[in-house]
Amino acid sequence: MQQFKSKIQSVIKDTSLRFFETSFNQVGPSSLMMIRIGKDDFLMIDQDSALYQDLMGEEIANQLKKCPTNHANRLVLNEYFDFTNPQAFGKNVATIGLGDRLGLASPGHIQTVHDRQIKPVLAQQSIRELELTNRNIEDVIDAASYAVFREGYRGGFGADGDHLKKESDIKKAIDAGFSMLTLDCSDQIDNSVTQLTSEERLAKFNQLDSATKAHYQEKYLGRSFNVEGLSIEFDQDILSYNVLLYHEAIAYMVHIYQTYIEPIDRPIDFEISIDETETITTPESHFFVANELIDQNVDVTSLAPRFIGEFQKGIDYIGEIDRFKVDFREHALIAKNFGYKVSVHSGSDKFSIFPIVADLTEGLFHLKTAGTNWLEAIRLIGMKNPELFRDMFTYALDHFEEARAYYHITPALDQIKPLDQVNDHDLPDYLNDDNARQVWHITYGILLTAKTDTGSPLFSDEFFKTLLNYEEDYHQLLINHIGKHLDLLAIYKD
């Protein structure tokens, strides 16, 4: 490695040159390593070989090529280094989604999980998040794959097409190589059913075709199911409620699985999301949905119910912990009965319930986080660039209502301490205040895409420059913060 580094240094005289030594690999006669010059990362390779020829780039010396870390070269890495490809993890290992909205957090995430018994889903973005940050599906896997290569991480990582609804987006995610698909069925769940009386529900149920009614009545009506010691029963009202609420959604789940997942010749983790709704998932509802899917041979890896209480973005669980424990136990038993994992969405910072999740799932769960990594980036800005922090937070407050349209949060804006009453040293403490955290959390897209009157970036250039200048500090913040999640989930360091 030292000889290769010396060869690069003899050609690249830039004082900002940085080597990522954990990325060093030898492929036949060629040495390969990731470097950074200024703010840009490159792959450096020497000695003629198939890999040397396949990587696109500029030959800057005899048999020494500087290659951009672009999409095309990521695909080349995927061919030669299997550990840079996303993989499915299945049902028998704990997993954590670590959505990286910035494309910079994955090295810190990798450093956090590499010595713990949990698998990371590093590439995890919803279409909404991509639109708000002007990124695309390929960008997400590119960033994760290069991070894995840079860190020399061979423990495996996943890529989740998160909360996908449209078939066109599902196809894009699968074609791009995503190893996990989270199907958001909120558009197919008829929440108006919850507002009907028992009589109205029965009348609407009776309007269904005779074959559908017969199917559900023969299968569930008057029956009691023993689920790991939990008794699940369906009278006519409970049955009518669940058929009307979920019948269309179940049909869509089956269609997506049979059309897009079952024919694929590689493993894909299939997660069902019925949590993006105001309708709390009862044990009967969870069982009903799962039972229908399993009976139709849909291989479910994980399922996300809508739990009681509130899972608002970026803050701890809101609700009675004892009630949550009773509710979660029932969902955990149902998941265990059918052999898949319970998935906890909006799982960032839900510290008070993590021990319950770990205990009642016996350490087998999926947890999604995303925005909390953006918040740690903002904490870094507060520490290292206070003027930028102040400008961004002022802008975030001014555009709060615009961002709120995308999220359910309930911050008390009048309880946020005014910026002019806070000295620079205390700015990071804003990230310890739930009200300020939620303002920061939901305005990421507006802040990252804001423009001046002349059309140039208002904040993003300086924001990313600061993160790169203090990259190791950012990664340490992630190690501490995500590490706290994992400690409370009883996923300790080896």
Encode pLDDT of 52-75 as tens digits: 999 999 999 999 999 999 999 999
Cα 145 from Cα 377, distance rounded (Å): 21
CB-count exposure of residue 105 (10 Å: 0-12, 13-18, 19+): buried
**Residue 132 predicted with pLDDT over 90:** no
User: Positive or negative CA dihedral for 161, 166, 171, 172?
Assistant: negative
**Residue 407 predicted with pLDDT over 90:** no
Could you tell me what percent of the chain has a pLDDT over 90?
Answer: 95
**What's phi and psi for 89, nearest 5 deg?**
-110, -15
CA 308 to chain centre: 22
The closest alpha carbon to 246, from 183, 165, 191, belongs to 191
Q: Are 33 and 1 in contact (CB under 8 A)?
A: yes
The closest alpha carbon to 99, from 72, 53, 65, 133, belongs to 133
Cα 37 from Cα 168, distance rounded (Å): 38
The closest alpha carbon to 237, from 249, 256, 220, belongs to 220
Tokens of 491: 């996923």
- What's the pLDDT at 287? 98
Catalytic residue among 46, 129, 151, 162: 162
- What's the pLDDT at 128? 86
Q: Are 277 and 186 in contact (CB under 8 A)?
A: yes
Tell me how far CA of residue 169 lies from CA of 130, 188, 494, in angstroms: 12, 16, 38
Torsion of CA 306, 311, 317, 319, to 10 degrees: -60
**Residue 428 predicted with pLDDT over 90:** yes
Could you tell me what percent of the chain has a pLDDT over 70?
Answer: 100
CB-count exposure of residue 401 (10 Å: 0-12, 13-18, 19+): exposed
**Residue 302 predicted with pLDDT over 90:** yes
Q: What is the mean pLDDT of residues 231-259?
A: 98
**Sorting pLDDT into bands at 50, 70 and 90, what band is 408?**
confident
- What's the pLDDT at 198? 97
Strand 40-46 with 64-68, pairing: antiparallel
The closest alpha carbon to 159, from 197, 117, 106, belongs to 106
**Residue 19 predicted with pLDDT over 90:** yes
**Residue 406 predicted with pLDDT over 80:** no
**Active-site annotation holds for 420:** no
Q: For helices 471-488 and 460-469, what crossing angle results, to 10°?
A: 80
**Sorting pLDDT into bands at 50, 70 and 90, what band is 278?**
confident
User: Positive or negative CA dihedral for 340, 342, 347, 352?
Assistant: negative
Residue ranges of E strands in 353-474: 365-369
- Mean pLDDT, rounded, of the chain: 97
**Residue 315 predicted with pLDDT over 90:** yes
- What's the pLDDT at 494? 87
Tokens of 285: 């509802």
- What's the pLDDT at 325? 98
**Residue 412 predicted with pLDDT over 90:** yes
**Active-site annotation holds for 40:** no
User: 193-204 pLDDT, tens per residue?
Assistant: 999 999 999 999
- What's the pLDDT at 183? 98
User: 348-393 pLDDT, tens per residue?
Assistant: 999 999 999 999 999 999 999 999 999 999 999 999 999 999 999 9
Cα 238 from Cα 218, distance rounded (Å): 14
DSSP label at 258? Answer: I
Cα 123 from Cα 470, distance rounded (Å): 23
Tokens of 178: 């995503």
Q: What is the mean pLDDT of residues 28-50?
A: 97
**Residue 444 predicted with pLDDT over 80:** yes
Catalytic residue among 100, 142, 271, 434: 271
